[in-house]
Amino acid sequence: MTSPEERLAELGLSVPEVAKPVAAYVPAVRTGNYVFTSGQLPMRSGELMVTGKVGGEVTQEEAIACAQQCALNAIAAVKAEIGDLSLVKRIVKVVAFVASTPDFTGQPLVANGASELFGSVFGEAGVHARSAVGVPVLPLDAPVEVEIMVEV
């Protein structure tokens, strides 16, 4: 059986360093058999991939890539909390926030960037409940933010 990290490698990806919080919180908290992540921004090497609103300065394709990066950052936060991604029993819930223009209605398609990655990395355990929410603005003018709840 392949591990989640091996599946990431097959996709040409790896678990990044845990993104440093931009305020007074921690990246993830474990309580009992659950890990809850804080909202993860599309940070790559300490920088936002892009800034702006989806449907404005940010294309839907860029936003999907941002959602995938947010998912990678959430995976990193979970790994830092539990040590071994093979301990993940299930991605229970994903919440994707999409900073978008008032006329943009593709929030579910943007959120698929995260959802599809979780499915590819965790298989059946990556199938989850989800909310995709359009918002006027996110921290640092990020176009996407993703948080997850994981059973371990």
Tens-digit pLDDT profile for residues 62-78: 999 999 999 999 999 99
Q: Calculate mean pLDDT across residues 78-104.
A: 98
pLDDT at residue 40 in the model: 97
Name the β-bridge partners of 95. 131, 147
Q: Write the class of the CATH domain 4-12+28-151.
A: alpha beta
Q: Where are the domains of the chain?
A: 4-12+28-151
Specify the pLDDT at position 21.
Answer: 87
